[in-house]
Amino acid sequence: MSMTDPISDFLARIRNAIMARHGELVAPASTLKTRLAEVLKDEGYISGFELRNDFSGIAEIAVKLRWADRTNAITGLRRRSRPGQRVYVRHDTIPKVRSGLGIAILSTSKGLMTDRAARKAGVGGELLCEVW
């Protein structure tokens, strides 16, 4: 069965692992998911991630969630751009998430980056998701 929106699936797996109080989650790997995990790690929302192959040789990404005193670093995730309704923003209209307390992740011509980095670089792109 083909998957229509693998980014939504990845974010839903993160959300479900947080709700179930798991320390780690495993999802099918892709270049975009790896870069998304790198951005989340750089911003301090996850402890780390690892690329590995499962028993049948399919690549998967294992994400280690960041917990502190029974609370997770991620309190909310929202997918903004979907396959049925893409959301594109210019560099001067990039929204601030929770008045700057969260991040928006954009897919730009210079790669995946946060809203602050995109504003600084002066580039816009597809608004993938918001994390706070």
pLDDT single digits (tens) 53-88? 988 989 999 999 999 999 999 999 999 999 999 999
- Could you tell me if 54 and 106 lie in one domain? no
**R_g of the chain, CA atoms, integer Å:** 15
Number of domain units in the chain: 2
Residue 66 main-chain phi, psi, to 5 deg? -100, 115
1's tokens: 């069965």
What pLDDT score was predicted for residue 3? 81
* Per-residue pLDDT tens over the stretch 11-27: 999 999 999 999 999 99
45's tokens: 């929302």
The CATH number linked to 62 is 3.30.1370.30
Q: Determine the structural domain holding residue 124 and report its residue range.
A: 77-131
pLDDT band per the 50, 70, 90 thresholds, residue 1: very low
Helices 31-42, 6-19: axis angle to 10 degrees equals: 40
